[in-house]
Amino acid sequence: MKQINPTRDPGNVGNSFNWLSEQFSISSELGKLDNIHLAFFGEIAHYRPVNSLAKLLSLFKNVHLSFVSAPEVKLQDGVRRYLVSHNIKFEEIENIENVIGKIDVLYVTRVKKEYMSDELYQKIQGKYVVDKKLISHMKKESLIMHPLPRIGEIAVEVDKDRRAVYLNKQMRNGMYTRMALLDMILRK
């Protein structure tokens, strides 16, 4: 793994707080960051955590990324170019069923109404929802993550699944990561 110093060069791969806490959550739960398949699911275009985490994961070996979204809210061109230039295996698809049984991490995002027309919002809202039926096809040793807040893209019934880490472990890891970074910065 390449070494990263987020206090010296946080702009290198995006928002340091977000990607470090997401990295911590994934590595502490799966025990690795190499050899993973992560699917970003929902509205991709307007999410800094998606862009940052995708770039961060390019630092690890054998990472496969799937971006599952409507074409209107697909991956940003700059992130796509970054992944291509770093030889990262990725795909952009509209149907989660194509990858749900293969992924190690399902990273869910909400549809951000504030970034689109009412017409587009109505078209895609509710199209990318995680429920018990969908997660029944996931690996037993996988994770469901979300940057929060959510507005209906994950059914409440999913919260009780042991793979759903967004309301407990992911939030707690984010707090610990921020505490550690602030401690590092303030001690300098």
Give the per-residue pLDDT at 134.
98
CATH of the domain at 165: 3.40.50.1370
Looking at the chain, the whole-number percentage of residues with pLDDT higher than 70 is 91
Write down the mean pLDDT value for the chain: 87
- Residue 4 in domain: no
Give CA separation, 84 vs 72, 79, 81, 107, in Å: 21, 9, 5, 21
- Residue 3 in domain: no
Give the per-residue pLDDT at 11.
40
Total of domains in the chain: 1
- Residue 2 in domain: no
- Residue 50 in domain: yes
